[in-house]
Amino acid sequence: MAPANCTQTAEFILAGLTDRQELKMPLFVVFLCVYLLTVGGNLGLILVIRTDARLHTPMYFFLSNLAFVDFCYTSVITPKMLGIFLYKHNVVSFNACAVQLGCFLTFMVSECLLLASMAYDRYVAICSPLLYTVRMSPGLCIQLVAAPYGYSFLVALFHTTLTFRLCYCQANVINHFYCDDMPLLRLTCSDTRSKQLWVLTCAGITFVSSVLIVLVSYVFIGSAILRMRSAEGRRKAFSTCGSHVVAVTIFHGTLIFMYLQPSSSHSLDTDKMASVFYTVIIPMLNPLIYSLRNKDVKDAARKAVLGRRGDAVLKKLKK
């Protein structure tokens, strides 16, 4: 994919989070536990939503897709990162690096846009409760999920192709724990101005559109809540939106910190720490945020664990 006059590198070396040997095993244990919690939490949330008929609603349809994206998101990054802690030579082939970057971009953009779809769902649920089931039809829900997946795949394919058409003819050590755009661009001996312009354009369109949809949705939601006369109604509305607000704040806040910090304070070490948060920690936090704050999910999970006796136990607990 590189220019014909370029002697292309066949592999890259991932530097990882740290080069201090005494820290690698403790970090391996910590991130292995985080990864197992992430996989168990997200797959468990998907299973609970799929098996409990009470959760077959648009809100939980979006939530199950978010859990799927989080599972894929972290599984693209974390296993390789764990391997870096264990092995001295952390080599990744040229093609494998391209695949990892493409998958990473696909799921990151998907999560960003799915959060916007979920904001619209909450807007309809609170501002038009009587028309909710009509407006949020199964067909529309599928479109609101398929559009982020399709768009993110095309964006990821475009950027991955641009990145790996560049010439990497000198250093091949990526100062990161996975194949990411910015560290790769520091290694190329090609002109990257066009690529950087496309990164800014696509990232700006995606991020700004997602944030605008979320903000506009919550402006209308806030207005609807303030007009409610019942304190109980306001409490339920806040409870319905609370988990989503927390998830959006954490995800977008991390991206803003990473990409909008002043260039004078910008460094790859800072990028690594921020990347750990949104590729490893956030996928672990999301199922906790949505389950611990959601009575329906907690009841469904308790019923799934307890089996046939679940309903009887739930009735006793409610009494």
> Measured between alpha carbons, how far is 281 from 35 in angstroms, rounded to an integer?
9
> Measured between alpha carbons, how far is 309 from 59 in angstroms, rounded to an integer?
27
Name the pairing type of β-strands 11-14 and 91-93. antiparallel
- Close Cβ partners of 5 (under 8 Å, ≥ 6 residues apart): none
pLDDT at 1: 47
**Range 110-145 burial, b when 16+ CB lie within 10 A, else e:** bbbbbbbbbbbbbbbbbbeeeebeeebeeebbeebb
- Report pLDDT digits (tens) over 158-191: 999 999 988 887 778 888 899 988 888 888 888 8
pLDDT at 261: 58
Query: Is-above-0.85 flag for pTM?
Result: yes
Question: Which among 217, 76, 85 is positioned nearest to 160, based on CA atoms?
Answer: 76
**Range 176-213 burial, b when 16+ CB lie within 10 A, else e:** bbbbbbebbeebbebebeebeeebeebbeebbeebbeb
**Paired strand residues for 316:** none
- Report pLDDT digits (tens) over 219-252: 999 888 888 887 777 887 777 788 888 889 888 8
* CA dihedral (154, 164, 115, 287) positive or negative: positive
- Over the chain (319 residues), what is each successive 10-residue block's mean pLDDT? 62 87 91 95 92 88 95 94 86 92 95 95 91 92 96 95 86 88 85 86 90 94 85 78 87 77 60 84 89 75 65 52
